[in-house]
Amino acid sequence: MTKILVIEDEIQLRKPIKHILESQSYIVLEAENGRAGIEMARKHLPDLIICDILMPEINGYEVLETLRNDPETENMPFIFLTAKTDPTEIRKGMGLGADDYLTKPFQIKDLLDAVQARLRRRAISQKPMEELRFHLCNMLPHEFRTPLTAILGYAKFLTDEKMHLERNIIQQFAGGIYENSVRLKRIVENYLLYSQFRLYEHDSGNLTDQNEIRPWTERNIVNISRLIRDAAIDLASDYGRSSDLIMDMPNVNHSLSIKSFVRIIEEVLDNCFKFSEIGTPVRLQILIHGERLILQITDQGHGMSEAQTDRINSRNSSDGREYEQQGVGLGLAIVQLLCRLTQSQFLVESKPKKGTTVTVIFHSENLKRVEL
């Protein structure tokens, strides 16, 4: 149930507020001064704080400033109770991070409206965090299981004194440990990257506002074929699929976000190799249409149903749960977030048992052709 902390030194006001909120099925905690309020906020982590400004020892401004400087309490919605109507005082509270003001005396409806508005906003803002928590708690252990099981299996044989392994077998097992460790490292990096992008999006509402992710948007002139070849050949080799990789691309230079472009290629190819059989082709093609660069990567793997691709192609389907439910992990979720970041188009076409084609279109604002 929703917990609300009321910090008010006047019992004649604190008790009525408590009764009003309890009548709406809220759990209400009471603190008779600022110091007690800070302690209760840290101990109980309420969903909302209602706090008087004028109190002995520690006033409401000091309570708010203290809680905003504590990572555990910095995002708690905070409503001030005040007899002051001076705009300067209101601006001071807002500057410290207050979410709302209630001027005493106030109507019951005003109190309930303010509380409900702040709780609704908190619920909306917490939704991406809940999704992220779900991924880390539920999906990550599943992704870890396969490489960890392989590593443990190889290590068990290598450390068993009863096993008299030949040198070439030892090398094979060591190679298996290395390959699965690399895979595990990639899984961790993907989850960190996905979490980073979702947190930036949650904090700003717009990924492009964040200076920390500028390396993903900075453009440089680069030879497209050389850039793709370096990334694609290495990944195909890691999967033992070098002979399956077919590349068709013009030898041109373009200005684009290199870091995002390479990561998109790596994630799509990784998905293709992972969900198609050895010996079946994976085709990577680059097309130039005017000021648009079109990347298409096609496999002949398991494929997906129309309903599955429709959900993935949804504008807001960078929810990693959707991708995990389709059996493709977070790779394509990261691709879609990068496409949103670079204002590029993303499309998945697939048929069950026939394969999948992923298309990414880089538009003129992200792309500039340079004659060789």
126-170 pLDDT, tens digit per residue, is 766 666 666 666 556 667 777 888 999 989 888 887 777 888 889
Neighbours of 244 (CB within 10 A): 20
Tell me what percent of the residues of the chain surpass a pLDDT of 70. 83
- What is the value of pTM for the model shown? 0.60
CB count within 10 Å of CB 260 equals: 26
Mean pLDDT of 169-180: 90
45-61, pLDDT tens digit by residue?
Answer: 999 999 998 898 899 99
CB atoms inside a 10 Å sphere around CB 125:
13
Per residue in 61-72, pLDDT (tens digit) is: 999 999 988 988
Domain boundaries, the chain: 3-106, 127-205, 210-370
Query: Is residue 25 pLDDT above 90, yes or no?
Result: yes
Residue type, 309: T
Class of domain 210-370: alpha beta
| Cβ contact 119:77 at 8 Å | yes
Band of pLDDT at residue 208, cut at 50, 70 and 90: very low
pLDDT at 319 over 80: no
Q: Cis omega (within 30 of 0) on the bond before 147?
A: no
Over residues 235-246, mean pLDDT: 93
Domain 127-205 CATH assignment equals 1.10.287: yes
Residues in contact with 318: Cβ distance below 8 Å, sequence separation at least 6, in sequence order: 198, 333, 336, 337, 340
Q: What is the pLDDT of residue 368?
A: 52
- Distance CA(109)–CA(305), nearest Å, equals 51
Element (H, E) at 124: helix 108-134
Partners of 27 in beta bridges: 3
Of residues 137 and 233, the one with the higher pLDDT is 233
Average pLDDT over residues 215-224: 85
Beta bridge partners of 356: 350
In a 13 Å sphere around the CA of 208, the CA atoms on its Cβ side amount to: 8
What average pLDDT does the segment 265-273 reach? Answer: 93
Beta-sheet pairing, 78-82 with 48-52 = parallel
One of 3.40.50.2300, 2.40.50.140, 3.40.50.280, 3.30.300.30 is the CATH number of 3-106, namely 3.40.50.2300
For residue 138, give the 3-state DSSP assignment.
Answer: helix
- Asked if the domains at 3-106 and 210-370 fall in one CATH topology, the answer is no
pLDDT 10s digits, 358-372: 999 987 654 555 544
How many of the other CB atoms lie within 10 Å of CB of 315?
Answer: 8
Nearest to 359 by CA among 264, 252, 281, 280: 264
